[in-house]
Structure 1
């Protein structure tokens, strides 16, 4: 179904407090099936390219806990192949949740508006969230989804996911 996320494909910058998840550092459903995804070589900055799925599910989590009382933002850097299809029928959604039992924050993303080879950051303005000072579990769980329409879609390129600490 999907290959396990490779921890070697996740980078942490201590200076900025930000995480960078390359495609192989994410759990991408159906990524091990060549008919559905074209995955980049290990250690490269190439994107994962969706060939065709009806169930888009990309998930990740921070390998180390986030800092309590801090504000963060989640975004994905994406582009579209020229032959992309299926994105007009339903929007995609991004989710961020601090702790397994945390409350999820959602953002709706209209991928029909994304065209061309240029990398775009979604959602516009990023998905922002705060880690409670009282939180017991501060691991971030996040995802990028479109699994409700049941329609086939393709052409989406995932360049990376970024979790960054926001300034006060």
Structure 2
């Protein structure tokens, strides 16, 4: 049995099941010995009472079914956390809890944290989603265009409010894809986020694209950030939320905030090109490794 004052976790034999009818052994997470398993900086084992302890994998499932069973619970955005006063023509802010986060309800991968009063005053959010570690990043959301209440055609820029912690890892390996879609028209850009680690524990507004809203136009703007092509693990960042700014007013707004200067895709053209090259290589490798009839691709956006 493991001891909380030891860094490594020793397997609990009570967490191993045997199915005599099918001659099959099933090892739950706590039925395995894990080096550094008792150190929450590296591992976060399920609680003894959590459903994850009792969740087993049926090896008679096909590949897609096994993937779904292993994926764990996801966080479904709570639209009620977007206050009604967000209906303004200049700026709209969406807290992390109003976003859909794959793996977001599994504390092994994501955790909800309270932001300090200073941070709340600075970024406008009082809570954030902390990414511990994951190899499938998929964060999405949507807003009706009627929320923007524009008097004339207006262009908006999309920003993700994020903070990279001092031990952030895995962000150099592959580019993150940012998508924006409005009424069927989609744009996508890819770039590597490694450089944001240079100023760790500082809030950044990372540009994720743009869209245009016309007066009285009905529709839904969808947005998301993804890295689902590779199997590279990434972690130690905090996502406070999502914001969009009227391009005509954003420059003045940013000069008055304590955010770091936004990095637009155009300002990192060399990095973006490198990211595109890496993405194509990773996609090719993923396709060659994927089991027959399967694909490592998001179907939610």
> What TM-score, normalized to structure 1?
0.83
Aligned ranges for residues 27-46 of structure 1 at < 5 Å?
A: 27-40=100-113, 45-46=126-127
Pairwise CA RMSD: 2.4
Q: Which residue of the partner structure matches residue 160 of structure 2?
A: 76
Aligned ranges for residues 120-131 of structure 1 at < 5 Å?
A: 120-123=204-207, 127-131=209-213
Post-superposition shift, 1:134? 9.8
Q: Which residue of the partner structure matches residue 164 of structure 1?
A: 245
- What is the total number of aligned residue pairs between the two structures? 161
2:134 to 53, 57, 60: 53
Aligned ranges for residues 100-139 of structure 1 at < 5 Å?
A: 102-115=184-197, 116-123=200-207, 127-131=209-213, 137-139=218-220
Runs (5+) with no aligned partner, structure 1: none
Runs (5+) with no aligned partner, structure 2: 1-72, 115-124, 250-301
Post-superposition shift, 1:77? 0.9
Higher strand share: 1
Residues 21-65 of structure 1 show CA distances to partners (whole Å, capped at 9, x for unaligned) of 111010011011000001236xx6122110111100000001553
> What TM-score, normalized to structure 2?
0.49
Bigger Rg, structure 1 or 2? 2
Distance 1:15-1:23 versus aligned 2 partners, 3 A rule: closer
Q: Which residue of the partner structure matches residue 5 of structure 1?
A: 77
Distance 1:108-1:78 versus aligned 2 partners, 3 A rule: same
How far apart in 1 are the matches of 2:216 and 2:96?
32
Q: Larger RCO: Structure 1 or Structure 2 (Cα < 8 Å, ≥ 6 residues apart)?
A: 1
